[in-house]
Amino acid sequence: MADANVITYEALVARVGRIFLRHGVRPESARVLGRVIAAGERDNCQSHGIYRIEGCLQVLAAGKVDPVAVPEIHDAGGPVIEVDAGGGFSNPAFDAAEGVLASRARETGLAALVIRNCLHFSALWHDVEALAAEGLAALSMCPSYAVVAPAGGREPLLGTNPLAFGWPRRGGHPYVFDFATSVAARGEIELRRRAGAPIPEGWAVDRYGNPTTDPEAALAGAMLPFGGHKGSAISTMIELLAGAMLGEFMSREALEVIGGAGFLPRHGALVLAFDPRRFAARSGRDPLAEGERLLTAIGAQGARLPSERRFAAREVALRDGIALTDAEIAQLDAFETR
Ligand code: NDP
Ligand code: PYC
């Protein structure tokens, strides 16, 4: 650990937490935000790592998120549990309610968590990994802001609407995928804009509907859904289930309310937790063993499982520390003092 730019995961969690504390976030939430953002760097997911701090500080400064909101759980004992983030960040609300969600899923086989009124900036793998660690399968989804044109259209209407799935595995990392339903997360385009690099073809169209590889033109135009009409339909489903069904903002309204894609979006989120043992009970089969057969067979073909890259990066970061660039260190210093 000779390099001054290499920082341990724990030190980065503490450092990011201190930044949020300094910017008025209550200690419990600052700790969660520190963990979530540092975990993005640890797992080599830069689009949702320390690059996001700036966006979070912007919404704090603009009064678009409540720094001292205390998540409020509403649980009538049924399959749907609600947590009102009170206009605060989504992650502390998920953390507050995760235990109730997991125990309800174990009791009844299936439970849903509705997160209301939250500022959402993070990756979703945090949610499904936490539930998989409890032996549960999970789905997590949310709208974002309207920056994606539906397949066949050219006006931004859908969000980058992420979807994550987790499946528990005995004695190893869970099976997890987590992706935007746009070809890439918007953060990936912004990171390329900052680096002066083009985006791959097929990610976006400019404001006139022409294909573009220029990040500026893409950000001013519309992103595209992954997989054509299939990604467009999944993204629409997320608008309906995690927006319309919850009575929370869909991506178009989220964009209007927050005042443009320059700010992080505000909306709700939906997390579903399933207990595979309860679902399989009458079959007499072991669902985790069945799942294992499939996952092993995928690996046996030389195909990599989603999250394998991330888990490998995590192992290295926990062993050797996280290497930050000079610019990132300078930015953390600036955030801590301003
Ligand atoms: P990526 O395209 O980088 O990755 C998507 C998933 O596919 C990951 O699980 C990844 O695993 C896996 N994967 C990638 N390549 C392969 C491969 N060759 N074989 C098998 N699996 C593979 O993600 P996106 O850019 O779409 O999204 C990035 C993040 O942005 C997500 O975490 C998402 O939650 C977040 N996001 C958040 C939003 C919000 O509103 N809060 C909005 C949009 C996105 P691995 O990580 O191991 O590479
Ligand atoms: O990367 O698309 C994105 C995104 C939107 C909100 C948070 N991340």
Instruction: Give per-residue pLDDT as tens, 193-205.
Output: 999 999 999 999 9
Same fold yes or no, 1-68+307-338 and 73-182+225-306: no
Gap from CA of 50 to ligand 2 centroid (Å): 13
**173 included as an active-site residue:** no
d(CA 70, CA 20): 15
Share of the chain above pLDDT 90, in %: 95
Q: At how many degrees (to 10) do helices 90-108 and 27-42 cross?
A: 80
Centre of ligand 1 from the C-alpha of residue 267, in Å = 21
Q: Name 7's bridge partners.
A: 322
C-alpha distances (whole Å) from 271 to each of 23, 29, 51, 138, 313 are 29, 20, 25, 7, 26
Q: Which ligand is nearest to the CA of 304?
A: 1
Ligand 2 centroid, distance to 306 Cα (angstroms): 19
pLDDT the model gives residue 40: 98
Domain ranges within the chain, ordered by starting residue: 1-68+307-338, 73-182+225-306
CA 103 to chain centre: 23
Q: How confident is the model at residue 29 (pLDDT cuts 50, 70, 90)?
A: very high
Residue with the smallest CA separation from ligand 1 atom 24 is 179
Is 1 a residue whose pLDDT tops 80? no
Domain 73-182+225-306 sits in CATH at 3.30.1370.60
Q: What is the pLDDT of residues 88-103, one digit of tens each?
A: 999 999 999 999 999 9
Q: Which residues line ligand 2 (CB under 6 A)?
A: 47, 121, 144, 160, 180, 185-187, 264-265
Comparing CA positions, the residue from 21, 317, 289 lying closest to residue 171 is 289
Measuring from atom 4 of ligand 1, which residue has the nearest CA?
179
The predicted structure's pLDDT at residue 2: 46
Residues 280-287, mean pLDDT to the nearest whole number: 97
Fold of 1-68+307-338: Hypothetical Oxidoreductase Yiak; Chain: A, domain 1 (1.10.1530)
**48 a catalytic residue:** yes
Q: What pLDDT does 50 receive?
A: 95
Q: Is 54 a catalytic residue?
A: no
Expressed in angstroms, the distance from the first to the final Cα of the chain is: 28
The amino acid present at 300, given as its one-letter code, is: A
Measured from the alpha carbon of residue 258, the closest ligand is 2
Contact by Cβ (8 Å): 148, 225? yes
The pTM of this model reads 0.96
Pocket lining: 180 vs ligand 1, CB cutoff 6 Å: yes
Ligand 2 atom showing the smallest separation from residue 187 Cα = 1
Catalytic residue among 47, 72, 103, 336: 47
Q: Whose CA is nearest to atom 7 of ligand 1?
A: 306
Please give the mean pLDDT across all residues of the chain.
96
* Eight-state DSSP code of residue 283: G
Atom of ligand 2 nearest to the CA of 145: 5
Ligand 2 center from residue 331 Cα (angstroms): 20
Residue 109: how many other CB atoms lie within 10 Å: 16
